[in-house]
């Protein structure tokens, strides 16, 4: 029975590690529990009337919640591993009253100080297998801290690329290039560079799906608000006279269709064409319909 309880604790630890791996390091970045937490917080925020203020906190709050979930699951899992063997399989420092506490409380305490790599030493494993297994928790705690830092360092450059694209589209919309200006070599280069940026954002949504739950601020820095203008530019490029402009327009339209497919597959589930997906994307981010 003791070993069965310990196996349950080990299972909890493995669940947390699997979710961490799939969220941060798996090629498709499909985190199960973390994705559910972020989606639930996003949908909850949509119910508030002061939506933009609340939604602006969802991304950072969701990341903190997910990291707390991972840490809590690991701590509880290791505590369950220790619990059936407490106190007879452990040694206590002289004068310590820890052995007089409930076994579950001692197990949680030991798990917490171990995962935090404090190593206070007032409770130490005594049996051989525990002396071999217990340091693994400290390694997992160190990996968890490293993963949290790397996650933050990865997600914010992706958000910057998305907002840069949105601001560039806003500036182009304000400049309102004429058909003659767009139907030129410079226009072809412009559409081609926009297609490249859209592809980068598409990859960001694939590799950093949690970026979807970050609010972009004002409309001029929101891709949800400006992606409709990119589609309008692609249509204008596809009907131009110059073949290089038509080709660049086709490239931009294809990149936008690919972006719409990722957004629909992972977040929106409309099953419609790109225009419908972008409209749903804008609505989900509180922007109404995309800007034409």
- Beta carbons of 233 and 172 less than 8 angstroms apart: yes
Sorted by sequence, the CB contacts under 8 Å of residue 27 that are 6+ apart come out as none
- The burial class, CB within 10 Å (0-12 / 13-18 / 19+), for 252 is buried
- The burial class, CB within 10 Å (0-12 / 13-18 / 19+), for 169 is buried
Cβ–Cβ contacts within 10 Å for residue 69, how many? 17
Q: What pLDDT does 54 receive? A: 62
Listed residue (272, 158, 162, 273) closest to 225, CA to CA: 162
Q: What pLDDT does 187 receive? A: 95
Listed residue (247, 250, 242) closest to 184, CA to CA: 242
Query: What are the structure tokens assigned to 229, written together?
Result: 């203008």
pLDDT of the chain along its 292 residues, tens only? 778 998 999 999 999 998 888 888 776 666 678 888 888 888 887 776 555 566 677 888 888 999 999 999 999 999 999 999 888 888 888 766 666 678 888 899 999 999 987 777 788 888 888 888 888 998 999 988 888 888 888 899 999 999 999 999 999 999 999 999 999 999 999 999 999 999 999 999 988 888 899 888 777 889 999 999 999 999 999 999 999 999 999 999 999 999 999 999 999 999 999 999 999 999 888 775 444 4
């Amino acid at each position: 029975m003791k070993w069965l309880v310990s196996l349950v604790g080990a299972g909890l630890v493995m669940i947390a590690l699997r979710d961490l791996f799939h969220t941060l390091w798996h090629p498709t970045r499909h985190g199960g529990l973390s994705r559910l937490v972020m989606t639930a917080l996003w949908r909850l925020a949509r119910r508030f009337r002061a939506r933009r203020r609340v939604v602006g906190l969802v991304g950072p709050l969701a990341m903190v919640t997910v990291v707390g979930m991972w840490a809590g699951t690991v701590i509880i899992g290791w505590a369950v591993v220790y619990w059936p063997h407490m106190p007879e399989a452990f040694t206590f420092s002289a004068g310590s009253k820890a052995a007089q506490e409930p076994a579950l409380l001692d197990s949680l305490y030991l798990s917490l100080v171990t995962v935090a790599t404090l190593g206070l030493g007032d409770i130490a494993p005594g049996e051989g297998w525990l002396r071999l297994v217990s340091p693994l928790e400290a390694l997992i705690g160190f990996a968890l801290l490293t993963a949290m830092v790397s996650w933050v360092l990865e997600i914010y450059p992706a958000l910057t690329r998305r907002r840069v694209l949105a601001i560039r589209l806003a500036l182009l919309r304000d400049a309102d290039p004429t058909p003659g200006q767009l139907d030129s070599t410079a226009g072809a280069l412009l559409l081609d560079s926009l297609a490249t940026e859209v592809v980068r954002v598409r990859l960001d949504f694939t590799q950093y799906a949690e970026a979807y739950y970050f609010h972009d601020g004002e409309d001029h820095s929101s891709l949800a608000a400006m992606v409709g203008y990119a589609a309008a530019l692609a249509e204008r490029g596809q009907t131009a006279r110059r073949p290089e402009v038509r080709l660049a327009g086709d490239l931009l339209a294809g990149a936008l269709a690919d972006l719409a497919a990722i957004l629909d597959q992972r977040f929106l589930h409309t099953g419609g064409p790109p225009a419908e997906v972008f409209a749903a994307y804008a609505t989900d981010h509180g922007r109404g319909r995309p800007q034409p």
